[in-house]
Structure 1
């Protein structure tokens, strides 16, 4: 069937296009029931959507692209870094191995569950040493939302609270501060 007419919804938020073989009166938008404007049929290129993430600044956005315009890598609109299609990002991320000492500092972004665990441990300590008037726990969080721990301490404090299906005490990304890059 060859289309000769298209009817475009006049509501800019709806933007629906209805295709037809001839001009008809009394057509309304099937989505919003608003008025439509008849126009000559235009062959549109198929538009798809791709989600891109920047490898530098982690900016993520959904981008409309045609098949002709699609590229696995684009320029990030925020930092001019590599803006990579999420379906293809694995081949652009370089995996690195680090040698880490248990005494090295690591940074994590605590969740509400993690903050609750730290406060409960502090209350338990106050009870054990018999000092109920001890100052409340001061959880230090930097400007980017990270708290620092020595690796062994992070494991000691939160290890019992980590299992499949648990409410995680911190987000899954861990920053290793002084790790030594290996050649493996």
Structure 2
């Protein structure tokens, strides 16, 4: 892995060792000044490297949020990934401010779900149904009376 000694433009005492590909726009961790390449130190050079901290850039993340109430959308900058909230308060109207990527994800999921319904059409003469239910009720009562009589006979 390539190792590079870097130095701040604002303060030459601010030096860092950066490992990996060089990126444009690296900033000094101490004063936020622009950093320049000082020397390639892939092979350890004690007089240049001793006591120099490693450069570990603070990676900020962001997302675009959209309000479900007023439609306001804006980029939200986060200091760390732990600060991320899928739902927050809209700065415009105090509505639900939601990550636009999540909104699109939910919409895709909703469109993929297959909505099926079953319908049953019943066409019957309710007069006959009522008569049948009455007959069942009479027979059920008669059966209950007969079973009770059998139970009483066994007890005697």
Q: TM-score, normalised on structure 1? A: 0.30
Q: TM-score, normalised on structure 2? A: 0.35
The structure whose Rg is larger is 2
- Structure with more of its chain in helix, by fraction: 2
Which one scores higher on RCO, CA 8 angstroms, separation ≥ 6?
A: 1
